[in-house]
Structure 1
Amino acid sequence: MCIIFLKFDPRPVSKNAYRLILAANRDEFYHRPAKPADFWGSNNEILSGLDMEPGKEGGTWLGIGKRGKLAALTNYLQPKIDIHGKGRGALVTNFLTSDLDSFSYLKKVSAEGHLYNAFNLIAADFNSTKGDVIYYYGSKGEAEPVLLKPGVYGLSCSLLDTPWKKLQHGKHLFADTIRKSQDTAREDLVQELIKVMNNEEQQLPDPAIEEQGQDFVRPILNSYSAVCVRCPGYGTRTNTIVLIDGEGEVTFSERTMLNCDVTQWKTSTYQFKLQH
């Protein structure tokens, strides 16, 4: 039940304003092996965590490259999973390592979407010369990738901005935090956004999640109904905040669980400038 909020402003009014503010939670089984965020690839150009589940090694849920490519993935909540479906995490790593622009890549993915269990994919190009673009493709939604206009968006395990109560609640907290933090140092903004992503207020009842998840989700809806998910052995195990300012300075902060223990966390922050 991963969740992502983002504010996109490709032409910020000042160099200190942000072209992108993104906050994301990865919800997963605590025991599923993964590497924390770090640089990888040729010349250490790509930054992400990595899935290390046998057979799906090297996939990721969110990553950014020094040349301005960014991608983020959520699964689509469905009652039954095809165990033969391809690993969805490769959809992010393949974009980050490809030469295709975001629209061309998602167009290609849209033709191959049936090979995977249902998913949502955001792909973006941040480029000072050509301009910033973000596209969205949901394998249960429109056939063509959707160009995102400037604004605030929320994405969980349904289509973009589907009005799940937890998504609406988190989106409001996210937007309110940004509004109140216009003169806040970026380190403080990161911490305020991490607080948003760890909000455990249950948003019930929610018929929209019940209808989509059917009998699979109804018995555990209480646990899934908050921005931050907490279940025995499963839940929010990574918070990621990404800021890109008007000068192309990137701040990437990841707070990740250690040793499958909800009381043990490590925060790593990376800062670099986009290359063009």
Structure 2
Amino acid sequence: MCIALVTTAHPKYALIVLDNRDEYVLRPTSRPYWWTHRASGHKILSARDLYRRERGTWLGVGQDGRFAVLTNYRESSEDDPEHPISGVRSRGGMVTAWLGAPAEEGLDDFVHRMLESRMVKGVGGFSLICGDLKRRADDRIEPLAIVSNRSDHPDMVPRIGGERGKVWGLSNSIFTDPPEWPKIKKGKKLLEDAIREAVDKDFSEDELTEKLFAVLDDDTLPLTTGMTFTEFLDSLRESVFIPAFSDEEGKKDMAEAVQSGKAKAAFDEIEDDSEVEERPEAAHFFMKGAYGTQRQTILLFDWDGNITYKERALWDAHGNQIERGKGDVQHKFAVPRSDK
């Protein structure tokens, strides 16, 4: 169960975003790289899911300053065609729908198009935090929208990020549904404390980044001896970080992956934007094995438009755990300002 934390509390940064991607650790996923959206031509920086044909993502930022991060949630009814448990289309395509939207389309227009055209239907449950980081003036950024399958009208779409000194959190539930999960309460408190310490001690960017990764590493998952996989899934709302877990069958799957290197080709660095054929036979393999926090991402956006995008991989191509920091990838670039 992923978590996204967003804050405007640091005076040097217009926005800071933290994200844990919780997934089957063998699910084939690229590292962050620059790629070109086929329809719009926009340059986008993100990791990409190589399992689904859409090559979607859970978090990305455009060269033009557009930003989006997605969390999913599991629908409860198999008999509700409006909100399917597992959609025909990938949730990750919702992120690229915003990042690849026409340049002239503003956030409000995008929200209306998503809901009125029913683009949010036909996919599994999701919440999409999206916005335009280049739109900043008077020490503020344009508020971010949170679009979900449950937003039937644009007026129902929450907005965050327009206030300074705030922290917001989202996991695998609907943003407007109280009460907050324990992992969200803990994550927000840890982030508030981390920002306060960073400001008081005037941390460098590297020091701040490591402090933020420590927030994402907070592990309070109540593991018990003999816990089943179902019991493990039920406990995921308790902890910011999800240590990899597998039952006895999953342990065999992980050992097989390590031994045979089945995941290697899927994790190879992408060299182009050629289409990837979806291979149904891979579904059973990548939906087995260990489940836990697979990737961690920190996004820093300062008032001058400079973006630092840092992703930490916790597992290698063969299902082996990576020492903290050894699987880091970092990109830095700047986006233009627009005060309109």
TM superposition score category, shorter chain reference = 0.7 to 0.9
Q: Is the 8 A contact 2:7 2:168 kept in 1?
A: yes
Structure 2 residue corresponding to 1:66, chosen from 63, 66, 91: 63
2:36 aligns with 41
Identity %: 27
Higher normalized strand content (fraction of residues):
1
Change (3 A) 1:69 1:179: same
- Is this contact kept in 2: 1:252–1:270, CA < 8 A? yes
Show the 5 A alignment for 1:263-274. Answer: 263-264=322-323, 265-274=326-335
Larger radius of gyration: 2
Report the Cα distance in structure 2 between the residues aligned to 1:138 and 1:107, rounded to whole angstroms: 12
Q: 1:22 to 1:261 in 2, by over 3 A?
A: same
| Residues 84 and 69 of structure 1: CA distance in aligned 2, closer, same or farther (over 3 Å) | closer
> Contact 1:106–1:123 at 8 Å: present in 2 too?
no
- Give the alignment partner of residue 239 of structure 1, picking from 296, 301, 306: 296
Mean Cα deviation higher: 188-197 or 105-114:
105-114
Superposed displacement of residue 127, structure 1? 2.0
RMSD: 2.5
Query: 2:64 matched to 1:51?
Result: no
Distance 1:246 1:197 in 2: 24
Q: Note closer, same or farther for the CA distance 1:127–1:84 as it changes in structure 2 (3 Å cut).
A: closer
Q: Give the direction of change, closer, same or farther, for the CA distance of 1:181–1:2 in structure 2 (3 Å limit).
A: same
Q: CA 1:168–1:51 in structure 2 vs 1: closer, same or farther (change >3 Å)?
A: same
Q: Using the alignment, how far apart are the partners of 2:135 and 2:151 within structure 1?
A: 30
2:241 aligned with 1:228: yes
Matched, 1:120 2:179: no
Range with greater deviation from structure 2 (194-203 or 58-67): 194-203
SS of alignment partner, residue 40 of structure 1: strand
Stretch of structure 1 that moved more, 216-225 or 238-247: 216-225
Cα gap change, 1:246 to 1:203, in 2 (>3 Å): farther
Residues 1:30 and 2:25 are matched in the alignment: yes
Q: TM-score, normalised by structure 2?
A: 0.70
Letter aligned with residue 124 of structure 2: N
Alignment CA distance shift 1:44-1:188 (3 Å): farther
Distance 2:110 2:168 in 1: 21
After TM superposition, give the deviation of residue 103 of structure 1 in Å.
Answer: 2.3
Alpha-carbon deviation of 1:96? 0.7
Query: Do structure 1's residue 189 and structure 2's residue 208 form an aligned pair?
Result: yes
Structure 2, unpaired ranges of 5+: 79-83, 224-228, 247-289
Structure 1 segment 133-172 matched on structure 2, within 5 A? 133=142, 134-141=144-151, 143-144=153-154, 145-148=157-160, 149-150=162-163, 151-160=166-175, 162=178, 163-172=180-189
Gaps of 5+ in 1: 205-215
Residue 304 of structure 2 aligns to a residue whose secondary structure is coil
- CA offset digits 1:153-177 (Å, max 9, x no partner): 0000012274101110111101110
Structure 1 position 198, deviation (Å): 1.2
TM-score normalised by the chain length of structure 1: 0.85
44 and 271 in structure 1: CA distance in 2 versus 1, 3 angstrom threshold:
farther
C-alpha deviation, 1:30, in angstroms: 1.2
Is 1:97 the counterpart of 2:97? The answer is: no
